[in-house]
Amino acid sequence: MKFFSCVHQFKFTWDQVAGCYWNRYPNPNSTHVLSEDVISRHIGKDGCLYSTRLVTKTNSLPKWGEKFVPGGTKHVHVIEESIINPKKKTMITYTKNIGLTKVMSIEERCEYCPSESNPAQTECQKSAWIDSGLPAVGFAISNFGYQRFKRNAAKASEGFEFVLNTFYGVTPEATARSAASKAVMLKKEKFKETAEKAKDLAKSKAAAVLVTKA
């Protein structure tokens, strides 16, 4: 069994990330996702939103791996379970394939929560377990799955970022920088206006002094 873990920082608030999660497909990096269907969804007594979905994806394999797949199956079904806790601001998702599990099984857990270093951003802690039940070649297949998952994890985060940018336009940080820039400009304009008034006042006083002396 292979284990993979990584952390991704989304430059959006937790509310934005959680609200946009259901719309992350399609995106430029998700051409392998064929369909997504809601199996069940309800709000528990604890106030959390529980969802179960079926996601169908293409199943691209290297030439050497095709002989291990019955009938050369070109797609695989994945079950996705999620728990969203709006009070604690946590979203936990679990995904696992329910097809071709003997050839390769992948279980993934993601936890989204506000970043401790920057509450305006969202941190995603992703963990995955990759295994193969095939004798003799199981290790090689697990290693292949690990390397592919590692590459796809980065692409998945980039795809979600694309959707977030599409929905919300700019990040909160960019908005904050823009507001700060406007504040600086206003201060400069106010300072310039005050300086001009002081200059005019100085001129009028100087003129008054000259008139008095004359």
Residues 188 and 155 in one domain: no
Q: For residue 115, name the pLDDT band (cuts at 50, 70, 90).
A: very high
Tell me the C-alpha distance between 130 and 169, whole Å. 36
Among 137, 116, 133, 134, CA closest to 125? 116
The confidence score (pLDDT) of residue 210 equals 47
Q: pLDDT digits over 3-30, tens only?
A: 999 999 999 999 999 999 999 999 999 9
Q: Quick one: average pLDDT of 195-206?
A: 59
Residues 101 and 45 in one domain: yes
Q: Which domain holds residue 93?
A: 2-169
Residues 73 and 100 in one domain: yes
Sign of CA dihedral 12, 14, 16, 19: positive
Tell me the C-alpha distance between 121 and 144, whole Å. 33
Which CATH number fits the domain that encloses residue 94?
3.30.530.20
DSSP 8-state symbol, 177: H
Helices (H), the chain: 14-20, 63-66, 138-168, 172-213
Residues 58 and 129 in one domain: yes
The confidence score (pLDDT) of residue 99 equals 86
CB distance 13 to 122 below 8 Å: yes
Does residue 197 register a pLDDT over 80?
Answer: no
Q: What is the mean pLDDT of the chain?
A: 85
CB distance 94 to 82 below 8 Å: yes
Tell me the C-alpha distance between 150 and 131, whole Å. 14
Residues 109 and 34 in one domain: yes
Q: pLDDT digits over 152-195, tens only?
A: 999 999 999 999 999 998 654 554 544 454 454 455 466 456 65
**Total-model pTM:** 0.77
The confidence score (pLDDT) of residue 49 equals 98
Which residues are registered as beta bridge partners of 56? 35, 77
Q: pLDDT digits over 39-76, tens only?
A: 999 999 999 999 999 999 997 777 777 777 767 677 89
Q: For residue 109, name the pLDDT band (cuts at 50, 70, 90).
A: very high
Residues 160 and 174 in one domain: no
The confidence score (pLDDT) of residue 184 equals 44
CB distance 133 to 102 below 8 Å: yes
The letter for the amino acid at 93 is T
Residues 164 and 176 in one domain: no
Long-range CB contacts (within 8 A, 24+) of 43-52: 46/85, 47/85, 47/86, 47/87, 48/83, 48/84, 48/85, 48/86, 49/82, 49/83, 49/84, 49/86, 50/81, 50/82, 50/83, 51/80, 51/81, 51/82, 51/84, 52/79, 52/80, 52/81, 52/82
The letter for the amino acid at 64 is W
> How many structural domains are present in the chain?
2
Tell me the C-alpha distance between 4 and 127, whole Å. 6
Higher pLDDT, 100 or 128: 128
